[in-house]
Structure 1
Amino acid sequence: MSFAEDVKNELCQFKTDDAWAAKVEASCLLRMGGSILLGMQGRVGVRLVTANNAVARRVLAIIKEQYDLPTSVLIRKGLNLRKKNMYTLTVEPTEPSRLALEELQLWPVDAMIPDEWLKDLESRRAFLRGAFLGSGSVNKPQSDYHLEFMTTKEDFADQIIRVLKMFRLHGRKVERKEEFVVYLKEGDAVTSCLQIMGAQSALMNFENVRIMKDVRNTINRQVNCETANLQKTVNAAVRQLDAIRIIEKHQDLDTLPVRLYEAALLRKEFPDGSLQELVDAYEATYKRELTKSGIGHRLRKLEAIALQWEPNGLDIE
């Protein structure tokens, strides 16, 4: 089972005593995933086809509790072992069904959810929960952070963005194959949306994996940084040793200025030592203080002298 299915199953277990919020949730769910049925003499019904049994039971329970409409559920088995069962929930076209759909702002088909429905926090949460159950998806936390709502109606996509903004979440919209997708990409935004909708267990799972990913990425960055620094140290040491060998071909090292002579001897004694290690060795040998910048300056002087003897003798980065 996918992580998105786990989230939907958990949301379907979310309990609320707010009857109005339940209607908002059902309205958004059916708006995202349902289709209108037209009957005789102006009768109207609705049908929802879903592969998630929990979603079908969720919307059926809300309709039964709030309206007590004539409904039926058809289960169609998958064609092979990999195909999931499909659940078709039908609210038959009747006059009471039409009145219920009008109240849910699902009929007429161009009706929008009024802004006054979203005055309180629970209704806004129910709005997002219903939209996600109807046609939402979220990546497993081990992959890229991505949560999305998909709808065929651009005005409803814009309304989802406005509701997200009420929670300080900045959804983005893109058109994909004649559908409009509202998505969140940042990890903080995805976890906040899960919490708002009511998927607490999925949120904890997401956060645990996210923490492990962040720790692993931090360690990898540190290792890469240290590896790069070590490589720079090695390259510099090799270049400095080449400079000293060039100088030795053309003059005795003891003819160099004292400070440069001391630096050359230290580098030869510690061919792979870092600047700090050379400083420590210098202070222990000569009983004088020296800084890393000081020893680095002397080694660069040796390179400059070597280039005077052999202008192409060093591999300068």
Structure 2
Amino acid sequence: MSFNSEVKEELVSLRLGESCCALAEISALSLCLASFSIRGRGEVLLNYTSLSPTVAKRPLRILRFFGYKNIGMSTRRDNRFGGRRFTVLTLSGNDARAMMQRVGVLRFEKGEFKFRNIPQRTVRRICCQRAYIRGMFLGVGNISPPEKAYHAEFALPDKKRAEFLQRTLHLQNMEFSIYKRRGSYIVYSKNSGEIASLLATMGAVRALLHFEDIRMLSQVKTEVQRSVNCDQANLSRQIATAQKQLEHIDYISKLVGLTALPESLQQLARLRISYPDYSLKQLGSILEPAKSKASVSRMFKQIEEFANNISEHKPTTSREVKT
């Protein structure tokens, strides 16, 4: 089972809270999954259609919560989409009219019923905002497995519904963006913190714990890799620096001999030959007397200058080099 399916299965199993929250959730599900038609003698049919039998259980449960008992349930196959099966819940007659008017998505205009956007009052309370977001996710939401990518989105058919959801998420301190994709408006986030907040807001506790475990492991791996990369870079620089120092020392040794250096620089040069892999700090600790890392660095600069003077054929004596 995918992570997205696990999240939805957990949300479907949550108990229903107050009636206002159940109304907010079924309002969101109505915007995502519902369609209506009018058959002979003006009978209204309200259908909730879902490709997921698991998701279909949620509107069924809420409809029963509001006292609707005569709910038709069927499984159909759509040959236009490779014969995929989908589940349809049906309310008819007065029950359908009452339910649509209850959620505020049905209006009578020019002799026919039409859908309208959810009234703002539906998400006035904090608990109802959370329920509305949960219903939207069950209907049109998708979340990627945290092992692969941080991505959560809601795909909505029009801009008004997308902006309403975006504002509702903002009321819960979550910042999601909107973009258009193949005729749909996508409300999305790639921020792991926002996605964790989304799971918490919807009540997907098990999914949140799994998500946080993966996120923490990923952060640890990133920090370890960064540290390893940093250590490798430092080691590479240390090796390159030591190699350059040895080249200067070898050059001096071959042309004029290390005895041409002041005693302190001779000592450092011989230590570098004996300990080519030592850092400046380590070399400083075994000098007599001991020197700081900065002092050792300055001494190597003096050795480099001495070598450069030789290469330019400038006579240099030990008295000309400061220690």
1:110: Cα distance to partner? 4.9
Q: Which amino acid is 1:245 matched to?
A: D
Q: Which amino acid is 2:9 matched to?
A: N
**Equivalent residue, structure 2, for 1:55:** 55
Residues 207-227 of structure 1 deviation map (CA, whole Å, 9 limit, x = unaligned): 111111111111111111111
Work out whether 1:154 is the aligned partner of 2:159: yes
**Equivalent residue, structure 1, for 2:102:** 103
Sequence identity of aligned pairs in percent? 28
1:1-317 superposed matches below 5 A: 1-40=1-40, 42-68=42-68, 70-76=70-76, 85-92=85-92, 94-108=93-107, 109-282=114-287, 286=288, 288-310=289-311
Unaligned runs of 5+ in 1: 312-317
TM-score normalised by L of structure 1: 0.88
SS of 2:106's equivalent? coil
SS of 1:12's equivalent? helix
1:64: Cα distance to partner? 2.8
Judged with a 3 Å threshold, the aligned counterparts in structure 2 of structure 1 residues 154 and 14 are, in CA distance, closer, same or farther, namely same
CA contact (8 A) 1:43 1:98 kept: no
Q: Could you tell me how far apart the structure 2 residues matched to 1:144 and 1:34 are?
A: 31
Unaligned runs of 5+ in 2: 108-113, 313-323
Q: Could you tell me how far apart the structure 2 residues matched to 1:249 and 1:41 are?
A: 110
Q: Could you tell me how far apart the structure 2 residues matched to 1:26 and 1:131 are?
A: 9
Bigger CA drift: 252-261 or 266-275? 252-261
1:237: Cα distance to partner? 0.7
TM-score normalised by L of structure 2: 0.87
SS of 1:145's equivalent? coil
Q: Could you tell me how far apart the structure 2 residues matched to 1:26 and 1:100 are?
A: 10
Q: Could you tell me how far apart the structure 2 residues matched to 1:254 and 1:137 are?
A: 75
1:195: Cα distance to partner? 0.8
Judged with a 3 Å threshold, the aligned counterparts in structure 2 of structure 1 residues 34 and 247 are, in CA distance, closer, same or farther, namely farther
CA contact (8 A) 2:23 2:122 kept: no
1:157: Cα distance to partner? 0.8
Q: Could you tell me how far apart the structure 1 residues matched to 2:16 and 2:61 are?
A: 12
